[in-house]
Amino acid sequence: MQKFENSNFPIDAVITWVNGNDSNFLKKKNKYLSEIETIHANHPSRFNEVGELTFVVKSILKNASFVRKIFIVTDNQIPSFITNKEDWSKKYIDRIEIIDHKEIFRNFKSYLPTFNILSIECLLYEIKDLSEHFLYFNDDVFLVRPTVVEDWFKNGLPVTRGKWTTFSNKIWYKKLKESIFPSKKNKWSYKKCQEKSAKIIGFKNQYFRAYHNPRALKKKNFSDFFESNPNLLKEQVKHKFRSNLQFNPYVLIWHYAIKKNSTILNNNLQLIEVNFSVNDNPKKILNALKKVSKSKNILFLNLQNLDLVKSDKINEIMKELNLLIGF
């Protein structure tokens, strides 16, 4: 385990997390199901968890020793590793802080409770005492090798990892397909949401596409943009569940920073992503873990929908994940 090492400026980490298996959470969410616009917005895997958060936190402590504090943003919940007072968490408890939605929604209390990550991500910069420079993790993204400040920030500017991608409506064969077989489904899409975000900033032909890496961000970019666009922020955070009307907050802020020449673009993802589905073999995940172990260039791992893995295999996967990340 690496000790905490100060960088030239403080850097914190933020993780958004929810325990969708919690009965109190389910009761709360069920009261608002009538507000769901698409089936996709209430997919159980958006909320369920199988203990991934423990490994996200451990991976940051182990592989980003410069991180000052880890903020876990959630809805009146406390992770089991804290409530159970696990030995490792007791050792690092002074570097872990639970942030309730009430804190970051203090100016939008009427929109709580929320079950919408696209609303929550807009207000991460409202965390009290959060450092100007911070790293943002979803609760299924892990650091698998030691990183240094320069992997995230150079000369104080965030390093944005992604790839330039042409808008769908600018690709001839996609335009042709849509004209012949127009889509009737009102389905939310990670890619469509990113395109919308870039268009808001003024990009017309290409956008810098995000993948499921952790993200280096600056609070000032959030505050500057949203203070200049308060109505856009209000329209965004009012949705309790994902909506096709929403943008992707960090992708929007990326493009805002690109316009201002205040970010450094990097197309080396150093990432392995696994999006597991009910029809997949768990070997898909186990093979990915083996690949991560052998590939020294890989820094980041994303394992989506682990809750869909059958119970007789999830323990095997968690054991391998512990060998990779644990301490």
Integer Cα distance of 90 and 81 in angstroms: 9
Integer Cα distance of 323 and 95 in angstroms: 23
Q: In what order do the strands lie in the sheet with 271-275?
A: 141-143, 300-304, 271-275
Mean pLDDT per 10-residue section of the chain, whose length is 327 residues: 68 97 94 84 78 96 97 97 93 97 98 97 98 98 97 97 92 62 69 96 97 98 98 98 96 98 98 94 96 96 94 92 90
Q: 269 φ, ψ to 5°? A: -70, -35
Here the tokens at position 188 are 């939310």
DSSP 309: S
Q: Please count the other Cβ atoms lying within 10 Å of the Cβ belonging to residue 220.
A: 13
Here the tokens at position 258 are 């690109």
Integer Cα distance of 109 and 103 in angstroms: 9
| pLDDT value of residue 311 | 84
| pLDDT value of residue 41 | 76
Integer Cα distance of 239 and 32 in angstroms: 11
| pLDDT value of residue 173 | 65
- Strand, coil or helix: what is 31? coil
Return the closest-CA partner of residue 151 out of 289, 295, 266.
266
Domain boundaries, the chain: 11-144+213-244+270-325
Q: In what order do the strands lie in the sheet with 96-100?
A: 96-100, 70-74, 11-16, 133-138, 215-218
Strand stretches in 43-156, DSSP E? 70-74, 96-100, 133-138, 141-143, 153-154
Q: Please count the other Cβ atoms lying within 10 Å of the Cβ belonging to residue 169.
A: 11
* Global confidence as pTM: 0.93
Here the tokens at position 15 are 């993780």
DSSP string over 106-133: TT-GGG-S---HHHHGGGGGGSTT--SE
